[in-house]
Amino acid sequence: MAKEVLTKIKLQCPGGQATPAPPVGPALGQHGVNIGQFVKQFNDKTKDLQGIVTPVEITVFKDKTFTFVIKSPPASVLLKQIAGVVKGSSEPNKQKVGQVARQQLKEIASKKLADLNVDNLDAAVKMIEGTARNMGIKVVD
């Protein structure tokens, strides 16, 4: 028999660097989850994503046990990393802050394909390209 789900929690934590401090502690503590156990398991699974913001979806069951699924980092984080910029443009249609090659967009799209609501790589590349455009990052061929 399957366990009864109490709630699902979505968080974004730096890979390999999660701590019981907010936002992790309060979000899990109010549902009675063992925070230390989650932090240890999360940091072990994300040690290769050191410092990169990583979304995680935690399913909490009635008996206070949990499971979690680690998603791929947000497209904006990956774009900033590749373009070498600290933040996106405040006026993306007027002021460009960096540039990425179309091949780099394909790499990001292939990493994120499982988490996007598209079924082919070309559509995923267009989504990532739109994110880049909205951040003020120019796409070059």
Q: Does the model's pTM come out above 0.85?
A: no
**Same-domain pairing of 90 and 109:** yes
The reported pLDDT for the residue numbered 54 is: 87
Q: Which of 15, 41, 70 is a domain's end point?
A: 70
**Same-domain pairing of 9 and 26:** yes
| Paired strand residues for 14 | 53
Q: Are 110 and 121 in contact (CB under 8 A)?
A: yes
Return all residues near 85 (Cβ < 8 A) that are at least 6 apart. 97, 98, 137
Instruction: Going residue by residue through the chain, which has 141 residues, state the pLDDT in tens, using 9 for 90 and above.
Output: 577 888 898 988 888 888 888 888 888 888 888 888 888 888 888 888 787 888 899 998 888 888 889 888 888 888 888 888 888 778 877 888 888 888 888 888 888 888 888 888 888 888 888 888 888 888 888
Q: Which of 36, 70, 104 is a domain's end point?
A: 70
* Domain ranges, residue 136: 75-140
**Same-domain pairing of 56 and 109:** no
The reported pLDDT for the residue numbered 1 is: 57
Domain of 102, CATH number, reads: 1.10.10.250
Torsion of Cα atoms, 124 then 12 then 44 then 28, to 10°: -140
| Crossing angle between the packed helical segments 102-112 and 75-83, to the nearest 10 degrees | 150
DSSP category for residue 120:
S
Overall number of domains in the chain: 2
